[in-house]
Structure 1
Amino acid sequence: MPPRILIDADGCPVVNQTVALAGEFGAECFILCDTSHQIEKPGAKTMVFSKGADSVDFALVNLVKTGDIVVTQDYGLAAMCLARNAKPISQNGMEYTAGNIDSLLLARHTAKKIRSGGGRLKGPKKRTPEQDAAFIEKLTDLLKV
């Protein structure tokens, strides 16, 4: 039986690809979003939560089970999912692991300190077809397990 897929959909550019792959593998797919980003896709169940700081993240962590795949760009959420033995991946196909999550969280903390001190950081670059391909490849690998 394929694992479930939970999508942290706020700001997620790979919802369509995720739902399509879930359908190909017969995996249950859940789109979790808040009231300001309601996303409905055939083949997935949408779950809408109140618009509040981290409301979707906490709901997702309460739903996630061992072996579930979680699509998120949030390092903090990924860390909580790892603690529940889930398999979090980024929208770019990077799998969050015990080996990389600490350095990612430290980088996030450092960036936040720079911004709160008045510093500026460059935003993300425009999404590329290579990132889409890397995501599809990683998600396919995880669904084959």
Structure 2
Amino acid sequence: MATILIDADACPVVNETIRISKTFGYRCILICDTTHEIHREGAETVIVSKGADAVDFVLVNRVQKGDIVVTQDYGLAAMVLAKRGHPIDQNGRWYTNDNIDQLLYARHKAQKVRMAGGRLRGPKKRSKESDLKFVKSLTELCEKLSAS
């Protein structure tokens, strides 16, 4: 059975992901730390100790080939790709071998700007359109994987 794992700390599309996982008969696992404890009907919850990247390490150790991972973390997405999983962000962007290097490079450049005292714009306020785009994209990913 395919699984959808959610990097659930601050994930805005938990409910949408659970609903889609039920539609496709996928197991759904929320992974969060003790400061972001989330429980939802229709999903298992794994709670890990608070700590830098603690959720990421547990998630990457659980992901199997063909699993879907919902995350906004580029580093975690790269590790999921290495394990032949299918990472997607909260806005519906699929992370792929074709775009992950560019995303990691952009993250690196942004870190350098911040370390030098610079400031960058934060993300736009989440909209209903963002949720609909995510639902459409995750549904398409599930359909693609179900057909293979």
TM superposition score normalised by structure 1: 0.97
How far did 1:107 drift? 0.5
CA distance in 2, matches of 1:19, 1:38: 16
Counterpart of 2:83, as a letter, is R
How far did 1:135 drift? 0.7
Note the alpha carbon deviations across 1:49-78, whole angstroms, 9 max, x for none. Answer: 010000000000000000000000000000
Counterpart of 2:96, as a letter, is T
Counterpart of 1:34, as a letter, is D
Partner of 2:60: 61
Partner of 1:47: 46
* RMSD over aligned Cα atoms: 0.8
CA distance in 1, matches of 2:11, 2:134: 12
Note the alpha carbon deviations across 1:6-55, whole angstroms, 9 max, x for none. Answer: 00001100001001111122110000000000000000000000100000
The gaps in structure 1 that reach 5 residues or longer are: none
Counterpart of 2:23, as a letter, is E
Note the alpha carbon deviations across 1:92-136, whole angstroms, 9 max, x for none. Answer: 000000000000000000000000100000100001222111110
Counterpart of 1:9, as a letter, is A
The gaps in structure 2 that reach 5 residues or longer are: none
Partner of 1:16: 15
Partner of 1:107: 106
Partner of 1:77: 76
Deviation beyond 2 Å, 4+ runs, structure 1: none
CA distance in 2, matches of 1:99, 1:142: 16
TM superposition score normalised by structure 2: 0.95
CA distance in 2, matches of 1:102, 1:84: 16
How far did 1:143 drift? 1.6
SS of the residue aligned with 2:22? helix
CA distance in 1, matches of 2:49, 2:18: 23
CA distance in 1, matches of 2:72, 2:98: 17
CA distance in 1, matches of 2:92, 2:133: 5
CA distance in 1, matches of 2:16, 2:118: 35
Partner of 2:28: 29
Identity of aligned residues (%): 59
